[in-house]
C-alpha cells in the first residue's frame, strides 16, 4: 500500500517512536506570538535553557495589537505587557521578530506563507489553533499548547500520536460568486463541528486544484472547525509558483532541488484513508452562519433549518436564542450593525479584491460600522498599489492597520453586546467578538454586500 502526502511528511520527521506511545517529531518551523509564548519562555529561563533552533523560529505580534495608530504606545496595559515580553524574549534568544511597523509584520498565519518562511513538506507548529492554515502549502501544520511551545523551543521536537486521516473531495464547477470560504463553510455544515475529530484532512478534487494558494489557505485554516487536527493540499505547480522568489524561500539551484523533492509528496494512488467524503461543487452557494458554531451554516438565500449536524436539540435552541433567530426564518434583509473583513482566514489581498469588486460604485450603508483589516503590512501595501484603497475609500470605508482585530476580543476591536456582525473570520462562538456579540460568518463578497445594503444580502442583488 502506498503513502499519503501526510504519511510521507510525517515519516520523514520521526526522530524516534515510543513503543505503545507517541512519535517524537522534528519541527521545521515554529511560529510564536505574544499570547502563548511568555509562559513558555519563562519556563525555559527557569530551567536555564536556551532556544534550540532560533533560526527555525519566527515571531510576530498580532493578537493583542491595535489596528490604528500603531506608531503610538499600546494603550491597554495587558496587551502592551504581552507585546513587550515577546520583543524581549525574541531578542534574548536571537529569534527573528517582526514588530509593529516592520514591513513584514502581520498575522503569523498570513506572513508565514507570504514571506516564504513556511514551505512544502515541512512540520509547522504554533501556539494557535489556526496554524492549520499553512497546510495549504503541502505540509503538516497544527496548533499546540503552551507547554508544547516550551518543548519545541527547548528541543525543536514535539511528542505526538499520529492522527487518523480523512480525504475530502469536491469536484465539478463552482457557481458564479462562490468563494473558498463558502466551500469550507458548506463542508462544515454537512459534516458538523466534530465530523473529522482526531483526523488530518487532505483536500482533493477539481475545486481545490483550481483554487489559488490564498483560497487553499482559507480552506485549510478552517479545518479545525470540523474537529480536524489540521488540513492540507498536496503541493503542485500552483504551490511552487507561489513560493518562488519569496524572501525566505530557497533560491536558484536550491529551489529547483527542493521542488524536485516536493513533487514526490503527492499521495500515491493505492492509499488508505480512515474516512472519505465527496461533494458536488454545484451544490455550494454563497454561505452564512446562523448559530454559534461554524457548522450552523446555510446558503445566504436559504432559511434557518430546524436542526444542525452534530448539534443536540438543546444546544441548537440555545444557539438560536442567543442569536435572536428562529427555525424557518430567512436571514436576507436582516439588519447588520458591523462588518469585519480580515483575520488569518480572509485578510489577504484576494479577499480585499473580492470585497472591493462588490462595493465599487456603491456606498457603505450609514448604519454599518466596517472594520477592513489587512492581514499584513504587505497586504496593506498592495491594497494601495492596486488602487483598492481608493475604491474602498470612495465607497465610504476606512482601511485599518494589520492585526487579528475583531476575529477575537483580545484587542480594541470588539463588537458591542447584542449587535450583529457579518464577519469573514473563522469562529462565531458566543462572546468570540465581544461579550454578547452576535457573529454571522461569511465570505468577503457577502460581507461587502451586507456593508453596502445595511442588511444581510447576496452579492448578486447589487
Of the three residues 283, 309, 341, the one that is the final residue of a domain is 283
Distances (CA, A) of 317 to 54, 296, 314: 49, 12, 5
> What CATH number is given to the structural domain containing 212?
3.40.1060.10
Pair (195, 295) in one structural domain? no
d(CA 223, CA 209): 17
Strands 23-26, 123-126: pairing is unpaired
d(CA 369, CA 412): 14
Pair (169, 259) in one structural domain? yes
Pair (222, 253) in one structural domain? yes
The string of DSSP letters for 248-311 reads TS--HHHHHHHHHHHGGGSPPSS---SEEEEEEGGG---EEE-SSSTTSEEETTSB--S-BTTB
Of the three residues 257, 283, 309, the one that is the final residue of a domain is 283
Burial class (CB in 10 A: 0-12, 13-18, 19+), 366: exposed
Pair (50, 181) in one structural domain? no
Of the three residues 104, 136, 160, the one that is the final residue of a domain is 160
Pair (99, 183) in one structural domain? no
Pair (11, 156) in one structural domain? yes
Pair (297, 218) in one structural domain? no
SS3 call for 64: coil
SS3 call for 103: coil
Pair (115, 184) in one structural domain? no
Strands 157-160, 230-232: pairing is unpaired
Neighbours of 369 (CB within 10 A): 16
Q: How many domains does the chain have?
A: 3
Pair (260, 306) in one structural domain? no
- For residue 279, what are the β-bridge partners? 170
Domain with 58 in it: 5-160
The string of DSSP letters for 401-459 reads -SS-GGGSSSSS--PPTT-EEEE-SS---TTTTSTT-EEEEB-HHHHHHHHHHSB---G
Secondary structure element (H or E) that encloses residue 168, with its range? strand 164-171
Pair (436, 312) in one structural domain? yes
What pLDDT is stored for residue 1 in this prediction? 84
d(CA 218, CA 133): 7
| Rg (alpha carbons) of the chain, rounded to whole number | 21
What pLDDT is stored for residue 79 in this prediction? 96
Pair (229, 356) in one structural domain? no
Q: Half-sphere exposure of 265 toward its Cβ, with a 13 Å CA cutoff?
A: 30
> What CATH number is given to the structural domain containing 379?
3.30.499.10
What pLDDT is stored for residue 462 in this prediction? 82
Phi, psi (deg, nearest 5) at residue 215: -65, -40
What pLDDT is stored for residue 11 in this prediction? 98
Pair (410, 454) in one structural domain? yes
d(CA 342, CA 123): 26
90, 133 Cβ separation under 8 angstroms = no
pLDDT per 10-residue tile (average), the chain, 462 residues: 96 95 97 96 96 98 96 95 97 97 98 98 98 98 97 98 98 97 98 97 98 98 98 98 98 98 97 98 98 98 97 97 98 98 98 98 97 98 98 98 96 97 98 97 98 97 84
| pTM tops 0.95 | yes
Amino acid at each position: 500500500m502506498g503513502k499519503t502526502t501526510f504519511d510521507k511528511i510525517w515519516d520523514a520527521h520521526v526522530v524516534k517512536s515510543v513503543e505503545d506511545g507517541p512519535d517524537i517529531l522534528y519541527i521545521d518551523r515554529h511560529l510564536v506570538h505574544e499570547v502563548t509564548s511568555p509562559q513558555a519562555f519563562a519556563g525555559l529561563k527557569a530551567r536555564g535553557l536556551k532556544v534550540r533552533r532560533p533560526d527555525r523560529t519566527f515571531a510576530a505580534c498580532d493578537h493583542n495589537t491595535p489596528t490604528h495608530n500603531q506608531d503610538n504606545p499600546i494603550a491597554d496595559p495587558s496587551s502592551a505587557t504581552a507585546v513587550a515580553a515577546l520583543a524581549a524574549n525574541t531578542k534574548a534568544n536571537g529569534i527573528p521578530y517582526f514588530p509593529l511597523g516592520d514591513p513584514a509584520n502581520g498575522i503569523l498565519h498570513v506572513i508565514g506563507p507570504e514571506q516564504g518562511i513556511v514551505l512544502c513538506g515541512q512540520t509547522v507548529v504554533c501556539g494557535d489553533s489556526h496554524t492549520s492554515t499553512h497546510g495549504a502549502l503541502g505540509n503538516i501544520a497544527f496548533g499546540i499548547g503552551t507547554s508544547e511551545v516550551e518543548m519545541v523551543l527547548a528541543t525543536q521536537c514535539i511528542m505526538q500520536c499520529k492522527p487518523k486521516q480523512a480525504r475530502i473531495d469536491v469536484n465539478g464547477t463552482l457557481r458564479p460568486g462562490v468563494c473558498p470560504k463558502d466551500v469550507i463553510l458548506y463542508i462544515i455544515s454537512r459534516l458538523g463541528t466534530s465530523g473529522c475529530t482526531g483526523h488530518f484532512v487532505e483536500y482533493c478534487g477539481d475545486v481545490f486544484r483550481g483554487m489559488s494558494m490564498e483560497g487553499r489557505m482559507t480552506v485549510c485554516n478552517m479545518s479545525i472547525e470540523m474537529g480536524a487536527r489540521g488540513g492540507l493540499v498536496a503541493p503542485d505547480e500552483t504551490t511552487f509558483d507561489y513560493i518562488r522568489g519569496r524572501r525566505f524561500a530557497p533560491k536558484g539551484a536550491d529551489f529547483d532541488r527542493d521542488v524536485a523533492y516536493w513533487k514526490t509528496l503527492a499521495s500515491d494512488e493505492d492509499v488508505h484513508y480512515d474516512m472519505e467524503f465527496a461533494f458536488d461543487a454545484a451544490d455550494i452557494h454563497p454561505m452564512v452562519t446562523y448559530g454559534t458554531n461554524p457548522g450552523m451554516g446555510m446558503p445566504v438565500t436559504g432559511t434557518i433549518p430546524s436542526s444542525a449536524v452534530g448539534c443536540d436539540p438543546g444546544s441548537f435552541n440555545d444557539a438560536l436564542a442567543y442569536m435572536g433567530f428562529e427555525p424557518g426564518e430567512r436571514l436576507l434583509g436582516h439588519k447588520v450593525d458591523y462588518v469585519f473583513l480580515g483575520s488569518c482566514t480572509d485578510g489577504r489581498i484576494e479577499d480585499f479584491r473580492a470585497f472591493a469588486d462588490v462595493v465599487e460604485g456603491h456606498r457603505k450603508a450609514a448604519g454599518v460600522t466596517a472594520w477592513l483589516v489587512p492581514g499584513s503590512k504587505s497586504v496593506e501595501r498592495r491594497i494601495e498599489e492596486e488602487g483598492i484603497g481608493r475604491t474602498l475609500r470612495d465607497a465610504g470605508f476606512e482601511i485599518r492597520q494589520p492585526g487579528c482585530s475583531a476575529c477575537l476580543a483580545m484587542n480594541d476591536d470588539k463588537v458591542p453586546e447584542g449587535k450583529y456582525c457579518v464577519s469573514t473570520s473563522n469562529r462565531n462562538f458566543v462572546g468570540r467578538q465581544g461579550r454578547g456579540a452576535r457573529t454571522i460568518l461569511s465570505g468577503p463578497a457577502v460581507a461587502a454586500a451586507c456593508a453596502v445594503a445595511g442588511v444581510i444580502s447576496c452579492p448578486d442583488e447589487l
